[in-house]
Amino acid sequence: MNQPNTAVVVGAQWGDEGKGKIVDVLSSRFSVVARYAGGHNAGHTVTINGKRFVLQLVPCGILREGCRAVVGNGVVLDPFALLKEVDALRAAGVRVAGNLFVSNRAQVILPYHRMIELAAENAPGRVKIGTTSRGIGPAYEDKMGRRGLRVADLLDLSLLQTHIENACREKNMIAHALFNSEPLDPEEMFREYAKASQRIAPFVCDTAALLNQAIARGEAVMFEGAQGTMLDIDHGTYPFVTSSSATSGGAVIGTGVGPTSIGRVIGVTKAYCTRVGEGPFPTELHDATGEAIRKKGNEYGAVTGRPRRCGWLDLPLLRYSVMINGISWLVVTKLDVLDELAEIPVCVGYKINGKKMSEIPAQACGYEEIECVYETRPGWRKSTEGTPSVDKLPTKAREYLAFIEKESGARAGMISTGPGREQTIITADFAAELDRLALSS
């Protein structure tokens, strides 16, 4: 059986690895790009000819002519966030009609989801997760509680009105009792969402059928993840995680394609580590070096603007990510951020109470006891920004990449040396695989 012409692009750390740019670069070789998890709490930043696009729900493939963009059933959808994004894309001259498709099975975020999340995050005695308070978690809670509203239901105005009335009755009581929140008006909510449903309707379809038919025809299909492996609800640093399946396995659940339809998994990792929000971060830097990395790397959230925590590359974490996702190819981003460093420490192992650990802890508190074992790699002290090919990189930079390959067990197929499309190196072997994929589609 031939390998399907498909690829999952997944974050190999805590998100913010630069997946948006990578999906954009790769999308020239794919006819469909499908988003499979998360909501408008995730932002993908793409820079094209100096113009910056921040996409929160619409897959990056929309920026490529002839590439269809699919919002899968695993996404939780804020209709107004989607429409705002659509309007911005149209204003920028991007063709959306006929290129954007939204799953009729995706869950809908409603105002009470935001109300409950914001109140819960700020409630006394609660463990702060550092959410964006955009209603993502409560929407997934309602989905799993079988009381959610799906996009197909959004288009059924009679059902929508009944759902909103019943939900507001329940949510207002809960929010008032637990958080003393002001009640939401179900009539006003219905009017707003009824209008939004009319504008969203042209994009809605059975996207599982669309994707499976495209794969059956031999088309090249890419699945775009949100956040990163260590924010996965099952496999991340729980409870400091997102509410969806951010790993490659989420592509199957979140789009409705079979496991045998996944051809390859591409993991995106920074040349160092970052994290937004609360939770464990073994290699985090609290000094001037961390601040310098943040400044040079422009490490601020694309959606929230929050400063990202910065630290050294964590190889035990990366090896775990390679294993969990089945990553065969790595994309290393922001290599140029390390250009000025004389030495680059890399975490190569963990110790807990002096004992070497081969596995990462299951409990968040376990990370508090971790002692990182570092190996210091020599810096290259030369600019790599915009370098066109691997052989043009400084010798020490190539050695750093080879070290990552050896220690992670995955091959480096792409290296990003700047925010622009053109500031991307694709290795010869990876280019050959992409060419085979394109030729067979």
Q: Catalytic residue positions?
A: 16, 44
> Phi first, then psi: what are they for 397, rounded to 5°?
-70, -40
Other C-beta atoms lying within 10 Å of the C-beta of residue 439 = 9
* SS3 sequence of 243-259: CCCCCCCHHHHCCCCCH
Token pair of 101, please?
């498709």
The span from the CA of 43 to the CA of 129, in Å, is 18
Token pair of 32, please?
């469909």
Distances (CA, A) of 144 to 71, 79, 137, 244, 346: 19, 20, 11, 11, 40
DSSP character for 354?
A: T
DSSP character for 300?
A: B
Identify whether the C-beta of residue 100 lies closer than 8 Å to the C-beta of residue 62.
Answer: yes
What order of strands is seen across the sheet that includes strand 329-333? Answer: 204-205, 100-103, 68-71, 32-35, 221-224, 6-11, 264-270, 329-333, 411-416, 424-426
Largest CA distance in the chain: 66
> Phi first, then psi: what are they for 145, rounded to 5°?
-85, 0
Closest by Cα among 419, 427, 440, 422 to 21: 419
Other C-beta atoms lying within 10 Å of the C-beta of residue 153 = 18
- Residue recorded with tokens 């059933």: 73
Give residue 6's identity as a one-letter amino acid code.
T
> Phi first, then psi: what are they for 49, rounded to 5°?
50, 40
**311 Cβ partners below 8 Å, 6+ apart?**
272, 273, 274, 275, 281, 282, 283, 284, 285, 290
Expressed in angstroms, the distance from the first to the final Cα of the chain is 15
Identify whether the C-beta of residue 53 lies closer than 8 Å to the C-beta of residue 43.
Answer: no
**176 Cβ partners below 8 Å, 6+ apart?**
183
The span from the CA of 329 to the CA of 316, in Å, is 17
